[in-house]
Amino acid sequence: MFWKKKTIQTLSYDNENWEPVIKCSICNGEKVAGFRHLHTGDFKEECLIRSEKELQEFKSKYGIAGEVEKIY
């Protein structure tokens, strides 16, 4: 009957070697948030972005301020 309030836990990532990016598909417009390795260019997928709310949740989950770069 009563639900527990969800608390958002801020996770951390290695910002020395990884940067947050949004990978966008040119064909169907799909967006995936994740992290790109600065030295190798590898992409680690985190979550699918279907709305602005999900993007804000991703940013608050990892404590990201400002704009997130989009790559195609």
Query: In this structure, what token pair is assigned to residue 50?
Result: 């279907």
Q: What gap in Å lies between CA 24 and CA 32, rounded to an integer?
A: 7
Q: What's at 63, amino acid-wise?
A: G
Residue 61 buriedness (CB in 10 A; 0-12 / 13-18 / 19+): middle
Give the model confidence (pLDDT) of 28-60 as tens digits. 989 999 999 999 999 999 999 999 999 999 999
- φ, ψ dihedrals at 29, nearest 5°: 80, 10
pTM above 0.85, yes or no: no
